[in-house]
Amino acid sequence: MSILERAVQEIADEMRKRTDRGQVASYIPELARVDPNAFGLAVIDAEGNVAAAGDADTPFSIQSISKVFTLTLALGKAGDRLWKRVGREPSGSAFNSIVQLEHEKGIPRNPFINAGAIAVTDLILSGHQPREALGEILRFMQFVADDYSIAIDDKVAASEERTGYRNVALANYMKSFGVLDNPVNFTLGVYYHHCAISMSCRQLAMAGRFLSRAGRNPTTGHVVIPAERARRINAVMLMCGHYDGSGEFAYRVGLPGKSGVGGGILAVAPGKASIAVWSPGLDPAGNSRLGQLALEMLTKRLGWSIFA
Amino acid sequence: MSILERAVQEIADEMRKRTDRGQVASYIPELARVDPNAFGLAVIDAEGNVAAAGDADTPFSIQSISKVFTLTLALGKAGDRLWKRVGREPSGSAFNSIVQLEHEKGIPRNPFINAGAIAVTDLILSGHQPREALGEILRFMQFVADDYSIAIDDKVAASEERTGYRNVALANYMKSFGVLDNPVNFTLGVYYHHCAISMSCRQLAMAGRFLSRAGRNPTTGHVVIPAERARRINAVMLMCGHYDGSGEFAYRVGLPGKSGVGGGILAVAPGKASIAVWSPGLDPAGNSRLGQLALEMLTKRLGWSIFA
Amino acid sequence: MSILERAVQEIADEMRKRTDRGQVASYIPELARVDPNAFGLAVIDAEGNVAAAGDADTPFSIQSISKVFTLTLALGKAGDRLWKRVGREPSGSAFNSIVQLEHEKGIPRNPFINAGAIAVTDLILSGHQPREALGEILRFMQFVADDYSIAIDDKVAASEERTGYRNVALANYMKSFGVLDNPVNFTLGVYYHHCAISMSCRQLAMAGRFLSRAGRNPTTGHVVIPAERARRINAVMLMCGHYDGSGEFAYRVGLPGKSGVGGGILAVAPGKASIAVWSPGLDPAGNSRLGQLALEMLTKRLGWSIFA
Amino acid sequence: MSILERAVQEIADEMRKRTDRGQVASYIPELARVDPNAFGLAVIDAEGNVAAAGDADTPFSIQSISKVFTLTLALGKAGDRLWKRVGREPSGSAFNSIVQLEHEKGIPRNPFINAGAIAVTDLILSGHQPREALGEILRFMQFVADDYSIAIDDKVAASEERTGYRNVALANYMKSFGVLDNPVNFTLGVYYHHCAISMSCRQLAMAGRFLSRAGRNPTTGHVVIPAERARRINAVMLMCGHYDGSGEFAYRVGLPGKSGVGGGILAVAPGKASIAVWSPGLDPAGNSRLGQLALEMLTKRLGWSIFA
């Protein structure tokens, strides 16, 4: 058993015992049905070694983690033009806040709060049918994960679509400022569906490899994105990846990461590893409580913090 | 000439030619008298090699860069108790904003916006006379820089004291919530004076070494602070070190850094280098325009970004 | 010619000459087509005498003035229960602001900002089809105006429906807090249509009589609403009837009043008169510029201010 | 016993029995020592008849009610120039909020929130020593009340001066925008002292007569201020006199009024009466709970609402 495998196993064992798991997200009814005691962890290191433990092969709803991949796609399509539609500063407020939009004429603070991710989705959609845009996003995810079984959970998408009044508000608010190009229901349809992609920790860690490998897919050696863009996406993840808990995550974990309300977190140790963790209970900022703790322990143990 | 020396020299040469220098800070009258064309750059690498160019030996007012050192001192004195007085999340607003304080009962968002740094100064002051607290801060700075000639520019302190109505407002506002322990004028007196420390790029790069060397002073090998604390201070610098331009700095430069309105920036490349740059013209967010550009070029050239 | 008739005529003549007319509302495309030089004024005094001048018989889109009548209807249906859905304090912000909703859990500050008027419409709608609710509103308007020719301009409603992203945002935002009971598109459909009622100054002054006559319809002597409710609606009009220009209107005119972005204003001189004025050009707060001026002159000349 | 005397007596009797008195203000230590069960009411009608009941002759700290008189004085000195320093719109926030100042460059929303009243005091002070300005304010109060025994309670002023960090914050914040001309401690010294004027309900009702009599002092018939200015001050009182409870006061009472945290309220029934009431317990918006209730009962009983 390698040092990495041992660390992953021991952390998963310890997490299994903990009872301070936070609250499972309830605002999307379908997500509330998940097992609160689930815990998975998967790490892929620079040599391609995989270490996994717990429920690392159980698919869960990746939710906002998908926003890392839509940002990557949209930067490929629109380049720096994207930054006219969305900023790259931390928001200083909750993931679904609308206040900031009023003060900044409909321009979201960053691509990882809901409003910003909707604006990014709108850029991907441009000139296409929702079905085509969604297919493109899913194929990109399958390609970077090297796994063509990854799929969308339509029930989750439908559940969010039925109850997503706040997102309808955010999208229409941006539309009123001309920040969205497409019909609001097209953009939101694509948004809800890419948030509803189901993946296991193992699949997610595979999908994140290119961000830890300077933009390259290590399986094939192909350049997914230029190295500079990978660095920049990592920077945005660190600054904005955990909503109003981003400072806390940087302080405790010290890695670029992106959380989702499904309880998953994708973290990137540049040059060292791609890591995915999953535990459904959330802290008040909307980030997986045990997921953060597990990453803090792992980073400390393996000396992977980018800050030393 | 080493690769590092050549890079430093060439960047300084290029900066000297540029005309888009931004605006010199005018709100502290004494600072407005500085030469807008000054440019200095100093880098100290892991082996202790120093590369310097331009006005690297001209002292300037370090202003908010001092807040990195007062945070370090205060963490040493108060430990995690400090985080009850000040948060560690990016603020999403300007360096001297008071709005956030009203929403969060007088607790500043982080130790690097003005309100937060005043709260940190108040913790250092506790139970001492202003003169003693100030002496302690100055001695700490001299110690980490290994240079006992570093001093405070009383003219700058007096200038800020005469015109610092906004800081008086911030401090009294926090005092009304019980966030400050000491008389407001004591705390502000110490605050204005530690912001008025004068240092050259070379001195500042020396002072920052312990943050790039896991908390150790490389001259003596002594532990200044534990490695974990150095990592954490670096994390706070990355998240909050450039006010509402922190996301931009992370995106472009990719290093923990702290700017001051005097036009200086201290940046830390963990395990690799401590870097100080100075150019008095500021961008709208209050950060040195050419300073940021020089750091962006240097990091790219030497591959020092923490994000890849 | 009575004193009142002379005053009305002379004010209308003076208004016709003025060139500082403000900007015609352009955000509803259909409204932008109105003649910017139109000016109408109609006053009905306590004895039922009518004085009218200018374009007092030209119908215009009453827009937000309709909110006085929907509030009256909703108070009749829901009584004080209405005040659980909407406050009665001035908003301190623009007519279509969404910021306040976030701070107060989706409860609009008052029934005259857009969000509040949408919540009031939702209360009227409860348990009915949109067509029925709209019929009820229109019949109430015809009844109090004693004029069964009053109608809705479907083109205006359709124009607002096509472009009303901001209102869709406000409504969905409230829906996310459970402040609306009905499907958002039902509520907004009724809202857009009652805002699109077309009336002349004469018709509008007729419709406002019950508010100046302690709740009674002077034609028939019938009680439309109890006297106390009339007083209270007048109070809400004074406090909130001109968005973030309500203080200005109280200061200059000194009467309860409600403006619409079509350029109309209904004003009530309790015990003395019901007044309607129309001039399409708006000031930055969204209130008719010449309409306010004409009312200031009229009130001063006739000594109708409620403040002396 | 007149109808008015009977109403005043019966309302005072009923108030004495009530137990829902709200909380006595505690943030000024000296004010917290007042008897929470005190209740006074005094009314002076158009003919100069006085009806008083309960503790109508017990002096209390008028606090913010003094702001009506400093506004009157400042308008006399500065005229409409005053409105460049302070707005006249309701604030939509608490009496001591600082948020609004940041959004509007240091210009307070109206003269009755703390920031606005400080700006008004600064205008009165201009070019004088604090002692002179304070003397002028006190003499004006004695003149309009026709009572030269009215005095300042220095203990209350000193108590507020010791604990008024929030006001120091507001004043320095405005000073940073250039909204105040005088040294902050001069302006605040005058402010604290005019807020600390002690008056009984009877004295306060006397002082308010000119506002109910179109600007005239009924004792002498002299013009204190022009009729138009009296109307306008009444308008500002109605819109802004009860902080973020102004809409509630207009809705329930229907008179221009100004409250103070000492539990007093001055209300004006134009052409009919000047009314002062006092009960120290406050509601959450900072207005006397029983004071408002007594005024609601009185206005209803005597038909004095300005809204019908």
Strands A50-54 vs A23-24: parallel, antiparallel or unpaired:
unpaired
CATH number at residue D91: 3.40.710.10
pTM of the model: 0.94
Q: Do C173 and A184 touch (CB under 8 A)?
A: no
**B307 is a domain residue:** no
Q: What is the token pair recorded at B165?
A: 């109505």
- Both B91 and B176 in one domain: the answer is yes
What is the 3 state secondary structure string of D149-165? CCEECHHHHHHHHHHCH
What is chain D's pLDDT, residue by residue, as a tens digit (308 residues)? Answer: 899 999 999 999 999 999 999 999 887 888 888 999 999 999 999 999 999 999 999 999 999 999 999 999 999 999 999 999 999 999 877 767 777 887 788 999 999 999 999 999 999 998 899 999 999 999 999 999 999 999 999 999 999 999 899 999 999 999 999 999 999 999 999 999 999 999 999 999 999 999 999 999 877 888 999 999 999 999 999 999 999 999 999 999 999 999 999 999 999 999 999 999 999 999 999 999 999 999 999 999 999 999 98
Give yes or no for a contact between C296 and C270, defined as CB atoms under 8 angstroms apart: no
Spatial separation of the C-alpha atoms in residues B73 and B194, rounded to whole Å: 12
- Both B162 and B109 in one domain: the answer is yes
Rounded-to-5 percentages of helix, strand, coil across chain A? 50, 15, 35
Task: Give the model's pLDDT for residue A95.
Answer: 67
What residues in chain A have their Cβ under 8 A from chain C's Cβ atoms?
Answer: 97-99, 101-103, 165-166, 168-173, 175-176, 184
Q: With pLDDT > 70 as the criterion, what percentage of chain B qualifies?
A: 100
State phi, psi for B300 to the nearest 5 degrees: -65, -45
Give yes or no for a contact between D297 and D303, defined as CB atoms under 8 angstroms apart: no
Amino acid at site C197:
I
Long-range contacts of residues B268-271, Cβ cutoff 8 Å, at least 24 apart:
B268/B208, B268/B211, B268/B212, B268/B234, B268/B237, B269/B212, B269/B299, B269/B304, B269/B306, B270/A306, B270/A307, B270/A308, B270/B211, B270/B212, B270/B214, B270/B231, B270/B234, B270/B306, B271/A308, B271/B46, B271/B212, B271/B213, B271/B214
Q: What is the token pair recorded at D93?
A: 């926030």
SS3 A158: helix
| Domain end position, chosen among A150, A181, A197 | A197
| Domain end position, chosen among B160, B178, B197 | B197
CA dist B118 → A28, B86, B170, B180, B197 (Å): 42, 10, 9, 9, 16
Write the DSSP symbol of residue A294.
H
CA C176 and chain centroid, separation: 27
Query: Hey, how many other C-beta atoms are within 10 angstroms of the C-beta on A14?
Result: 14
Contacts of A247 in chain B (CB under 8 A): 87-90, 110, 235-236, 239-240
CB-CB: which of B97, B103, B169 is closest to D169? Answer: B169
Q: Which residues contact B190 (CB under 8 A, 6 or more apart)?
A: B121, B124, B125, B130, B133, B134, B137
| Domain end position, chosen among B197, B226, B247 | B197
**C132 is a domain residue:** yes
pLDDT at C93 over 80: no
Q: Do A169 and C176 touch (CB under 8 A)?
A: yes
**What confidence category does residue C32 fall into, taking pLDDT thresholds of 50, 70 and 90?**
confident
What ipTM, to 2 d.p.?
0.95
Q: Average pLDDT, whole number, for chain C?
A: 95
Spatial separation of the C-alpha atoms in residues B8 and B304, rounded to whole Å: 14
- Both C72 and C187 in one domain: the answer is yes
**C48 is a domain residue:** yes
- Both B52 and B73 in one domain: the answer is no
**A27 is a domain residue:** yes
**A308 is a domain residue:** no
Amino acid at site B90:
P
CB-CB: which of C99, C101, C175 is closest to A165? Answer: C175
- Both B226 and B267 in one domain: the answer is yes
For A301, nearest residue in chain B (alpha carbons)? B228
* Closest by Cα among D271, D191, D193 to D230: D271
Spatial separation of the C-alpha atoms in residues C177 and B81, rounded to whole Å: 37
Active site annotation includes A251: no
Spatial separation of the C-alpha atoms in residues B273 and B296, rounded to whole Å: 14
The ranges of chain B with pLDDT < 70 are 95
- Both B57 and B93 in one domain: the answer is no
pLDDT (tens digit per residue) in C166-214: 999 999 999 999 999 999 999 999 999 999 999 999 999 999 999 999 9
- Both C233 and C156 in one domain: the answer is no
Q: Do B214 and A240 touch (CB under 8 A)?
A: no
The rounded radius of gyration (Å) of the Cα atoms in chain C is 18
Amino acid at site D157:
A
Task: Give the model's pLDDT for residue B221.
Answer: 82
Task: Give the model's pLDDT for residue A98.
Answer: 79
CB-CB: which of A103, A166, A175 is closest to C165? Answer: A175
CB-CB: which of B103, B169, B184 is closest to D176? Answer: B169
- Both A74 and A190 in one domain: the answer is yes
Q: Which residues contact B159 (CB under 8 A, 6 or more apart)?
A: B28, B29, B30, B31
Chains B and D form CB pairs within 8 A to the count of: 53
Spatial separation of the C-alpha atoms in residues B158 and B139, rounded to whole Å: 21
Q: Which residues contact A40 (CB under 8 A, 6 or more apart)?
A: A12, A52, A53, A54, A55, A56, A57, A58, A60, A200, A201, A276, A277, A278, A279
Burial D217-245 (b: 16+ CB within 10 A, else e): bbeeeeebbebebbbbbbbbbbbbbbbbb
Give yes or no for a contact between C251 and D232, defined as CB atoms under 8 angstroms apart: yes
Q: Which residues contact A93 (CB under 8 A, 6 or more apart)?
A: A99, A100, A244, B92
Burial C74-83 (b: 16+ CB within 10 A, else e): bbeebeeebe
Q: With pLDDT > 90 as the criterion, what percentage of chain C qualifies?
A: 87
Spatial separation of the C-alpha atoms in residues D131 and D84, rounded to whole Å: 26
Spatial separation of the C-alpha atoms in residues D308 and C211, rounded to whole Å: 8
Q: Do D99 and B97 touch (CB under 8 A)?
A: no
State phi, psi for A305 to the nearest 5 degrees: -55, 140
**A239 is a domain residue:** yes
Interface test with A, best of C27, C95, C97, C98 (most A CBs within 10 A): C98
Residue-range definition of the domain harbouring residue D81: 64-197
- Both C33 and C81 in one domain: the answer is no
Strands A40-45 vs A273-278: parallel, antiparallel or unpaired:
antiparallel
- Both C222 and C267 in one domain: the answer is yes
Spatial separation of the C-alpha atoms in residues D280 and D287, rounded to whole Å: 9
Amino acid at site D277:
V
Q: What is the token pair recorded at B220?
A: 């003596």
Q: Do A91 and B92 touch (CB under 8 A)?
A: yes
**D307 is a domain residue:** no
Q: State the total domains in chain B.
A: 2
Task: Give the model's pLDDT for residue D95.
Answer: 67
- Both C73 and C43 in one domain: the answer is no
The ranges of chain A with pLDDT < 50 are none
Spatial separation of the C-alpha atoms in residues D22 and C234, rounded to whole Å: 28
- Both D189 and D73 in one domain: the answer is yes
